[in-house]
Amino acid sequence: MHTVETVLLVLMLGALTGIAARYLRAIPLPLIQIALGAALSWPQQGLHIAFDPELFLLLFIPPLLFADGWRIPKREFFALHRPILKLAFGLVAFTVFGLGWLVHWMIPEMPLPVAFALAAVVSPTDAVAVSAITRRLGMPAKTMHVLEGESLLNDASGLVALKFAVAATLTGVFSWTQATREFLWIALGGVGAGTLMGWGFAHARAMVTRRLGDVAATQMVLLLVLLPFAAYIVGERIGVSGILAAVAAGIATNFADLERGEFIAERMQAEGTWTMIESAFNGAIFLLLGLQLPSILRTVDESKHHGAWTLVGYVLVISAALLLLRWVWLQLAVRGGLRRAHRDGRMPEAPSWRLTLAITLAGIRGAVTLAAALSIPLMVNPHTPFPARELLVFLATGTILVTLLVGSIGLPLVLRRLPLPPEAPEEREERAARIAACHAAIASLVRGQQQLLDADADTLAERQERVGRITQQYRVRLELLDDDSATASTAETRAEEAEAMQARKRGFVQELELRLGCLQAERHALYAERQSHRINDASLRELVGELDLAEVALRKRLRAARHAAGLAPHGPATRD
């Protein structure tokens, strides 16, 4: 099969499995995609794709890590930097040494440097797999930020550890001084290179859009999509971590986006583009992982060094050891930091044993682990093969599957019993921001009215009527948002006011639903006009685009209003 046909087929299968996952809610999407990939490549005449680790790391990993760095809340990321760094770097080193010695003891024919290489391969968690599994399971927000930050950074530390383990295997020489110096250069250099490229792109984009405005939105989004690839390539060419360069470029670009609030078209196009890229590339990664499984199993079977049950036992022991080492590190090095973050108000959930268990089970390995394992060279020298390479690749692949299964089954059970705060800080902050926005809007109306004192009486009366109507709408919104604005002295009074407040909230929901119905009727009428050839396609796109913007904002307000009124999140008129 030609390369283009293969790429199109993988993308199509990724989309179809995403649709199937909507029906098979009990099975996580990554497991469906891995199983489908394995089924397609299992027959001798099935779909077989040669896996190039360097090409894989270049094409799939940079945009996904860039998008995660772009989306992750920066305030929480920097506020929780201590536990994130301890997990991203300290846990990787702890895992490499602990698991490396265990593997060498359990499998004596695997040399110690190769055992360390296996430990380095499976030490980093996978950002794509972690988010795919935990996104809809109700993981506490701050804990999710810690996990996302860990998986963004630990790829680099794991790959650096793998580099030194492979070098020790090839040369038989290892230097702590050289390893420390090179690690600092690779990590800090990657962050610096990515930050410079992100800020450079942001500065160039600002100069262009200052002159052109939002008319170049499509071109800017295209350049934004290419930025993670450029950051990764530049990082690898100068000898630093391309992965960290892509992450840092995403974080830097997000900071620059805070000053671009007026570029609505660019922002909406970027959101839609990255959503599509993440969905397509996530599906392709797990499908490719599944497509490699049969060939990896056949390779190990041909070696005839181990029985099938022995190999399965090795995988289970290594996976259990990974989770145990993660739990021990959380108890010894991270739990105290999480407790301090909780005391300081930076983390609403206390570090209970259930939360520690949830973070432990979220140590899911994914496609980066497979790419790292397959990147190990085939030969030590022209006459000597790399020792136990096939076994290493098999054990790494088995560990990916086991951690995915354990996370998919265990996390829902643990999170279901994890107590959550009644209201997350983000919800209070969002309500306060909405209140501030309403006050700012009312103030702008008052200022505009004062500037028309010299106008004629009719103009002032018409203006006053409009201002009064709009101001009243904002005051109704303020009443609905400010739940703590009034207190009563008796329980009876409080109950009456609460009942009146709920009635006003339900009335507000009904008003928003009526407005949403009007928008939908307008859209139907526009399509009818186009079908009758009274407007052309360009006019249809422009007019419908305006309605779409209004409907997006209205749906968000409607969801918030239904939540405030204690109604179901999706009513008949609010279903997407």
**235-258 pLDDT, tens digit each:** 999 988 888 899 899 999 988 887
CB 138 within 8 A of CB 163: no
pLDDT band at 473 (very low <50, low <70, confident <90, very high): confident
Does residue 304 have a pLDDT over 60?
no
Does residue 104 have a pLDDT over 80?
yes
Q: What's the residue count for the chain? A: 576
Please report the beta strands in 308-404, taking only residues with DSSP state E, as ranges in sequence order: 379-381, 384-385
Burial of 379 (0-12, 13-18, 19+ CB in 10 A): exposed
Averaged pLDDT, 207-219: 83
Residues 532 and 526: their CA atoms lie apart, in Å, by: 10
Which residue has better confidence, 173 or 374?
374
How far lies 160's CA from each of 116, 118, 184, 378, in Å?
12, 13, 10, 19
Q: Which two tokens stand for residue 510?
A: 């009904």
Q: What is the DSSP letter of 381?
A: E
Q: What is the pLDDT of residue 284?
A: 84
Q: What is the pLDDT of residue 315?
A: 92
Phi (first) and psi of residue 381, to 5 degrees: -145, 175
Phi (first) and psi of residue 385, to 5 degrees: -70, 155
Does residue 108 have a pLDDT over 70?
yes
Of 72, 162, 166, the C-alpha closest to 120 is 162
Residues 481 and 435: their CA atoms lie apart, in Å, by: 7
Averaged pLDDT, 5-29: 82
pLDDT band at 115 (very low <50, low <70, confident <90, very high): very high
> Helix 264-303 crosses helix 29-41 at what angle (to 10 degrees)?
50
Q: Could you count the other beta carbons within 10 Å of the beta carbon of residue 335?
A: 18
Burial of 189 (0-12, 13-18, 19+ CB in 10 A): middle
| Percent of the chain at pLDDT exceeding 90 | 15
Q: What is the pLDDT of residue 69?
A: 84
Q: What is the pLDDT of residue 68?
A: 82
Q: Is 39 helix (H, G, I), strand (E, B) or coil?
A: helix
- 270: enclosing H helix or E strand: helix 264-303
Averaged pLDDT, 492-501: 54
- Looking from the CA of 297 toward its CB, the CA atoms found within 13 Å total 15
Q: Which two tokens stand for residue 137?
A: 């399971």
Averaged pLDDT, 161-171: 82
Q: What is the pLDDT of residue 306?
A: 62
Does residue 56 have a pLDDT over 80?
no
Which residue has better confidence, 95 or 57?
95
Which residue has better confidence, 462 or 196?
196
Q: What is the pLDDT of residue 119?
A: 93
What's the N-to-C CA distance of the chain in angstroms? Answer: 39
Q: What is the pLDDT of residue 510?
A: 63
Q: What is the pLDDT of residue 97?
A: 92
* Strand-strand pairing, 384-385 and 379-381: antiparallel
Does residue 573 have a pLDDT over 50?
no
pLDDT band at 574 (very low <50, low <70, confident <90, very high): very low
Least confident of 55-64, 129-138, 225-234: 129-138
Averaged pLDDT, 212-225: 86
pLDDT band at 1 (very low <50, low <70, confident <90, very high): low
Instruction: Give the distance, in angstroms, between the CA of residue 387 and the centroid of all CA atoms in the same chain.
Output: 37
Residues 278 and 295: their CA atoms lie apart, in Å, by: 27
Q: What is the pLDDT of residue 489?
A: 41
Averaged pLDDT, 125-147: 74
Task: Output the pTM of the full model.
Answer: 0.75
Of 310, 309, 324, the C-alpha closest to 99 is 324
Per DSSP, what are the bridge partners of residue 385? 379
Q: What is the pLDDT of residue 385?
A: 81
